[in-house]
Structure 1
Amino acid sequence: MAVRVCCVRGSHYQVGLQIGRAARRQIAEYLDRHHVFANLLGILQTDAGRILYDGYLRAAKSAYPHYVEEIVGMSEGSGLPFQHLFLMHCQSEMVLMFTDDCKPVTEIEGCTTVFLNVQNGPRVMVHNEDGDSLVKDLGYVVVANIDPYELPNGEVIPAESFTAFCYPGLLAGNAYSFNLHGLCSSGNFQMAKCVEREKIPQRFLCRALLSATSVEQAVSILRTEGVAMASGYSYNFVSTKDRTNNMYSVEVAPAEGVAGNMVSVRAIEPGDGQTDGRYNHYNLYDHLDTPHWRDLSSEHRKARAAVMEPLSTKQDVLKFMGDTADPEYPVYRSQTRNDVFMTTSTGVFDLEAGVLEVYTDNPSKRKEPDVIFLLPV
């Protein structure tokens, strides 16, 4: 299937406007048919939901007014209400805030990320983007060059340049992406039981990390006092310019009642016989100790990995990412009876080849990716 690519340039507002115009049909269809959006609108009609929404909007405007301007642009370009688009940026927080304590969470997208980091061998970070099935046909890649932005206090935010797989109507950054500085990233939603009000929806932190010049700066953004996430997330990083050749898993959770985040960094060092160089991440906290919801799909994906042969080559990784042996919760998700989500695409960061490969169908059954992007070196 062809990959839709949207090339945009200008201010944050102008970039949002161009995306909104180019993807008007996709954004409208996504909101019209999204399995959770109607529920979110219902929550917004309640007093509690409106208070929650207003608090998230205040926090986003305070920390990241330039990214709010991108949503304003998308709203005007697509002809859809700003309130509806911003509401989708609060989906994770709204769903978790109104979740029954006794039930597993079933309305949050989840992903699988595999790191294979071998000294003098394959160096790949591969990500299955799992979400609403609509994204498979309606998602798109944004290639953006954004002008500097002056904050109200006079501070100037540098220009940005990135390539990112995007959900219709959502800010870039919550799927797989890379920027001009060679920072490659993907994300896994983490269902921390602590969900905070009056803090920044996690999708804005995802967007902010696209501006980072290095893994160290990305972690610094997450640890900045006053930049507090409302819900949990996990970030996966590798840089084409990191001389250590490490890859990184960074888990983040809200710090209850504090204007900051809990952050845990795990380095996946190059495997050399002493270190393994292999690591998988799902929608479960692995190295940050914080209470979180169960995710049955993640538990099944993790169990499947445990009984397969250790991954040693890029093809091994693609075979695992396309695995469908578990009929209830396969690694390559396909809307089974128990699992409402689907693997919408697979992003393969191949550091040896210096490319991002995108597969829109099962990568274990494809000879070639649908599109290839060159990574900055």
Structure 2
Amino acid sequence: MPAMESIGRRQCIPIIYTRGTHYEVGFDVGRTFANIIRSFVNRSKSLNEDFLPAYETVEGRRAYEDTLDNLKKNFPQYVRELEGTADGSNVPFHKLFLLHMDNIILSAVKKEVIHPQPVGCSSICVNQNDQQLLGHTEDALDDTLNHFYFVSAHIISDKPQGKWKVREEKFTSLCYAGHLPGYTMSYNHHGLVFSINTLSAKYLKPGKTPRHFITRALLSAENFAGATEILRDRGSGAADGCSINMTFLNQEGDRMFHNAEMGPADKTDESQLNVLTISPGENTMHCNKYLRLKIEETNEEMTRSSVCRMTTFKSYRSPKNKQDIINMLGDHTNKDYPVFRDGPGDFVKTIAVGIFDCRAKTWTLYSDNPKENDPLVVLPLDIKT
């Protein structure tokens, strides 16, 4: 693996606008961001020193094939989309698919993770009468810094696709290089706005649906009932876990936010799921630890960091507006486990901060600490009326 010269934190989030079939959209993403994708694949320690060696074992290859077969049955359109990205970027498909399997393949070979794992991502929902906001820090391994982009896609299929029979998707999502849209901050044209916090369940399930594919499917959700159905994924269930913070801008009645904790399907064919609803006048916060589902966790650093970040949040008054969210998400008073991570020795970095304003229908993005920097861009939310 070639050594990569450090280029510092770039004040840049590239974006692609693309329309076509799933494969065509994936291909355009791969072709447009080929250099960024290849750079990330080459420098990813987790991929090259953890996932690829596991893939070369009998047990790892079986887990890979079982998981891929399940996805070809239930979500063939997203497999084609990822194939398009692989072809467009000239990166072998199996390398991109392994990034989506993540630690699932390591659980199949009963191998401990060699390299540090992500320990970040913090989300805050504010549901007040005049302020309806979802703020999020996107934290990832330092390999990921400068290796992400926006995908704004419109996909129209000639026939219903996958287990949820979807014909049209239109969304904008912040994407890690080489990854399908949906696993960071995103919104779709039905008015679904959401952010993701990684959760580290100890017992993962090869052959089930990786969280990256479940959150990709979430980009097609038309309403809250449809979103929960996608997260439950009946007939298979999740292979691993995450937390989803979401609301629908087009919903009737009072604004409701929801935090869904999703866990691996355990001795059943659907995800474990617990959904908390945040009513008007309420706020909520979530990091990278299960708060309601009783699931054994791994990654002690993630748990410790989550506890410390929640303690930091509780040291503030309950957030009422955008500035409160900026102050909390930009906090670095805890030197060991700050909310905003950008220390020279940090193996995890906060690569971006986003704030969705549900009343103004905007998405404000920062590529650096929001307490100390202006937004890089404010995007309007393109929602069906």
Q: TM-score, normalised by structure 2?
A: 0.90
The aligned counterpart of 2:4 is: none
Give the length in aligned residue pairs.
369
The aligned counterpart of 1:41 is: 52
Q: Cα 1:239–1:13, aligned 2, differ >3 Å: closer, same or farther?
A: same
For the pair 1:227 / 2:232, whether they are aligned, the reply is no
For the pair 1:87 / 2:98, whether they are aligned, the reply is yes
The aligned counterpart of 2:371 is: 364
Can you give the 5+ residue segments of structure 2 that lack an aligned partner in the other structure? 1-10
Q: Measure the CA separation in 2 of the matches of 1:67 and 1:149.
A: 15
- Which has the larger displacement, 339-348 or 148-157? 148-157
The aligned counterpart of 1:282 is: 287
Runs (4+) of structure 1 exceeding 4 A deviation are 95-101, 151-156
Q: Cα 1:152–1:297, aligned 2, differ >3 Å: closer, same or farther?
A: closer
After superposition, the CA RMSD in angstroms is: 2.2
The aligned counterpart of 1:213 is: 222
Q: Secondary structure at the match of 2:146?
A: helix
Pairwise CA distance, 1:104: 11
Q: Cα 1:25–1:323, aligned 2, differ >3 Å: closer, same or farther?
A: same
For the pair 1:296 / 2:304, whether they are aligned, the reply is yes
Q: Cα 1:98–1:300, aligned 2, differ >3 Å: closer, same or farther?
A: farther
Q: Deviations over 1:222-272 (max 9, x none)?
A: 22420311011111101111233010001111231211111111001110x
Q: Measure the CA separation in 2 of the matches of 1:109 and 1:36.
A: 14
Pairwise CA distance, 1:105: 9.2
Pairwise CA distance, 1:335: 4.9
> For the Cα contact (< 8 Å) 2:171–2:188, is it kept in 1?
yes
Q: Deviations over 1:188-246 (max 9, x none)?
A: 11111221121111110010000001122100122242031101111110111123301
For the pair 1:159 / 2:168, whether they are aligned, the reply is yes
For the pair 1:50 / 2:61, whether they are aligned, the reply is yes
Q: Measure the CA separation in 1 of the matches of 2:77 and 2:102.
A: 20
Q: Measure the CA separation in 2 of the matches of 1:155 and 1:341.
A: 35
Can you give the 5+ residue segments of structure 1 that lack an aligned partner in the other structure? 272-276
Q: Deviations over 1:115-163 (max 9, x none)?
A: 11112x2110001111122433121000000012536899852210000
- Which has the larger displacement, 45-54 or 304-313? 304-313
Q: Measure the CA separation in 2 of the matches of 1:141 and 1:264.
A: 29
- Which has the larger displacement, 23-32 or 121-130? 121-130
The aligned counterpart of 2:154 is: 145
Q: Measure the CA separation in 2 of the matches of 1:239 and 1:154.
A: 22
Percent pairwise identity: 30
The aligned counterpart of 1:202 is: 211
Q: Measure the CA separation in 1 of the matches of 2:316 and 2:128.
A: 19
One-letter identity of the residue aligned with 1:60: L
> For the Cα contact (< 8 Å) 1:16–1:70, is it kept in 2?
yes
Q: Cα 1:317–1:78, aligned 2, differ >3 Å: closer, same or farther?
A: same
> For the Cα contact (< 8 Å) 1:115–1:126, is it kept in 2?
yes
